[in-house]
Structure formats: structure tokens, C-alpha cells
């Protein structure tokens, strides 16, 4: 990885056009060729960038020139990033090796697994029919069945917002065209459900259930005998 601190002006032309006036910034060049230009503020997102794969062409200018170097970064498409460097304050290259990678825990998939193992925590008369039940327009997170035989489709979200309700509505609409599932009900399950989503769900006849991730994770298989 190469890290420059340089006074530069940047122009991007591609999916949109963008311009950065001359100022001192950090330029990061990764070993895959990707380039990102960071300022000393804002979030982690760079001001400008070019993702890999791309190629960098460097043009050196005369010492008398206002510009020391001009980089032209292009990718396979028609995107172009032009970095005009007036002055370089630092230029270091480091060998970081390959990163062993990030391990995550607590995302939607995990929540879905826990609910698939304990559908009673959604409603005590439910049992699992299938996880990732495939419809023509996408997979329903959980398909369950009540003791009465009634089918129930469950959409699982980490945070319950309007989009999730729309998604479940589409699934329900499609599933109900199948005679076997003509009366399928919907449950919208999330760790936190926003009021707007709750309102829309109610309007659509969909039940909302908030789930406690930590509590679910604490349920040991042995605890099932309590039912």
C-alpha cells in the first residue's frame, strides 16, 4: 500500500462528473491498483476514488511547472479519475500482506437462523415448514405453520422499516395465488420496528413481532422441553 500526502486537484468523469479544488489531501493506493482520496474530516468515505481493477498512468511535469505530476486512473469502463499533484509532502509504501479478514456476528442471517430454530418465540403455536422458501420473486425468510394448519410467512429484518413490509406484502400477494397457500398470513419480525413500518403492516393485516437477539441466543436447545 502506498500513502501520499499531497496538494492536489481531482476530477472524476464517469457515472457522474465531480471536481475537487486544489488542497492538501491523503491519497491511498492499494496493491490492487485502486485509488482513494481522503480529506481530514467526514466519515470513512473518500472524497473521490476508483475501484479495482484499474490502471494508473503517471505523467511527470517540468520542475518549473505548477504541477509536479498528473495521474490518470482509468478502469475497464469509461470512468476516469485525474489527479493533478502540485506538491508531495509525504510518499510512503508499506507491505501489509493479505488481511485475514473480518468475522461478523449478529446480522440478519444469524437472526433468521435463531428464529428458524425457535419459531415459537414469534407465536407459540408455530412450527417451521421451510427456511428460505422460494417464490418466483425471491425467498421468503421463514415459512411456518400453525397448529390449525394455517400457513404463516415470516419476513425477518434487523431493523424493521417500510421496505421490509413492502417486501413481505409482495410475497404474500404472490403466495396467495397458490391454492395451497391461499390464506397464508404474514408476520414481520425485527429487533426494532419503526412506527411507520408498524402502521403500514397493520394496514396490510400483517402482524409485527419484535425479537430480542441476545435473549434468543440465550435459549439453549434443552430449554425447549419447557414447552
Partner DNA sequence: GTGTCCATTTCGAGG
Partner DNA sequence: CCTCGAAGTGGACAC
Q: How far is the CB of 36 from DNA (least distance, A)?
A: 8
- Residue 147 binds which entry of a second copy, DNA, none, CB below 5-8 Å type-dependent: none
Chain-centre distance of CA 47, in angstroms?
Answer: 20
List the one residue from 27, 36, 168, 171 that touches a second copy (CB under 8 A).
36
- Residue 3 binds which entry of a second copy, DNA, none, CB below 5-8 Å type-dependent: a second copy
3 state DSSP class of 41: coil
**Is residue 107 close enough to count as binding a second copy by CB under 8 A?**
yes
Q: How far is the CB of 128 from a second copy (least distance, A)?
A: 24
| Angle at the Cα of 12 from the Cα atoms of 9 and 16, rounded to 5 degrees | 140
Closest listed residue to residue 171, CA positions, set 149, 196, 202, 139: 139
Q: Are 121 and 133 in contact (CB under 8 A)?
A: no
Identify the helix (H) or strand (E) that includes residue 43.
Answer: none
Provide the binding-site residues for DNA, judged by CB under 7 A: 12, 14-16, 18, 42-45, 48-51, 75, 79, 81, 102, 104, 107-109, 132, 134, 137-139, 141, 155, 157-159, 161-164, 167, 170, 194-196
Amino acid at each position: 500500500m502506498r500513502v501520499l500526502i499531497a496538494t492536489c486537484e481531482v476530477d472524476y468523469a464517469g457515472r457522474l462528473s465531480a471536481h475537487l479544488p486544489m488542497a492538501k489531501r491523503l491519497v491511498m493506493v492499494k496493491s490492487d491498483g485502486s485509488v482513494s482520496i481522503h480529506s481530514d474530516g467526514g466519515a470513512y468515505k473518500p472524497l473521490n476514488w476508483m475501484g479495482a481493477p484499474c490502471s494508473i498512468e503517471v505523467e511527470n511535469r517540468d520542475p518549473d511547472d505548477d504541477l509536479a505530476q498528473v495521474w490518470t486512473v482509468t478502469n475497464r469502463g469509461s470512468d476516469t479519475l485525474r489527479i493533478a499533484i502540485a506538491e508531495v509532502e509525504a510518499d510512503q509504501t508499506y507491505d501489509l500482506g493479505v488481511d485475514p479478514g473480518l468475522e461478523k456476528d449478529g446480522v440478519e442471517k444469524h437472526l433468521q437462523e435463531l428464529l428458524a430454530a425457535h419459531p415459537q418465540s414469534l407465536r407459540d403455536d408455530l412450527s417451521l415448514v421451510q427456511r428460505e422458501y422460494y417464490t418466483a420473486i425471491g425467498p421468503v425468510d421463514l415459512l411456518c405453520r400453525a397448529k390449525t394448519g394455517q400457513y404463516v410467512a415470516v419476513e425477518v429484518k434487523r431493523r424493521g422499516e417500510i421496505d421490509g413490509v413492502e417486501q413481505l406484502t409482495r410475497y404474500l400477494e404472490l403466495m396467495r395465488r397458490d391454492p395451497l397457500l391461499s390464506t397464508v398470513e404474514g408476520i414481520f419480525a425485527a429487533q426494532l420496528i419503526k412506527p411507520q413500518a408498524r402502521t403500514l403492516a397493520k394496514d396490510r393485516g400483517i402482524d409485527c413481532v419484535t425479537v430480542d437477539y441476545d435473549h434468543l441466543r440465550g435459549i439453549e436447545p434443552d430449554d425447549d422441553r419447557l414447552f
